[in-house]
């Protein structure tokens, strides 16, 4: 009995320690550190990721998709575009065919994505907060999602 209680306490302690070390998971909107973009509303963000023109300083905002992490992609689809992956991809293709509007660029390598954000001041993307804080040359614009 005592050994069971000890095992349960140990497990609980480990879980609590892990959570404390890891912190609460967050997804943030990011841009290059020299980007003039200060904030974007949820509607503007959604527009940008559907290829609809959103301007900042009279320049069109270029949205980049971060496909380096499948869970991050799921959160993006759920909290930013509010569509399943299949519906979103199909909608993008349809809108591009209709009016030639460019689709968001896809990045599967986060290092390449960070370089692209630095190179294009009017571009935006999203990533885990821990990754954003580790990356050099980008800034966090706003919080997009937080683990409950």
Residues of this chain that interact with other proteins (CB under 8 A) are 43, 46-47, 50, 52-55, 58-60, 62, 81-83, 86, 89-91, 93-94, 96-103, 120, 122
Nearer to other proteins among residue 80 and residue 129 (C-beta): 80
Nearest C-alpha neighbor of 139 from the set 47, 36, 46: 36
The one-character DSSP state at 27 is: E
Nearer to other proteins among residue 89 and residue 147 (C-beta): 89
Closest distance of CB 57 from other proteins, Å: 11
Q: Cα(90)–Cα(97) distance, rounded to whole angstroms?
A: 11
Closest distance of CB 95 from other proteins, Å: 9
DSSP, collapsed to helix, strand or coil, labels residue 100 as coil
Nearer to other proteins among residue 122 and residue 129 (C-beta): 122
> What is the rounded radius of gyration, in angstroms, for the C-alpha atoms of the chain?
19
């Amino acid at each position: 009995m005592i050994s069971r209680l000890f095992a349960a306490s140990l497990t609980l302690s480990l879980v609590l320690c892990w959570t404390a070390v890891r912190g609460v998971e967050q997804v943030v909107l990011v841009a290059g550190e020299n980007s003039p973009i200060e904030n974007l509303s949820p509607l503007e963000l959604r527009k940008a990721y559907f290829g609809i023109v959103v301007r900042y300083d009279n320049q069109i905002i270029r949205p980049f998709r971060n496909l380096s992490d499948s869970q991050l992609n799921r959160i993006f689809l759920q909290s930013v575009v509010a569509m399943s992956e299949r519906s979103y991809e199909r909608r993008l293709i349809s809108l591009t065919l209709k009016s030639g509007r460019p689709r968001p660029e896809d990045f599967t390598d986060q290092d390449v994505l960070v370089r692209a954000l630095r190179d294009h001041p009017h571009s935006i993307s999203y990533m885990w907060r821990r990754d954003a804080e580790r990356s050099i040359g980008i800034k966090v614009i706003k919080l997009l999602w937080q683990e409950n």
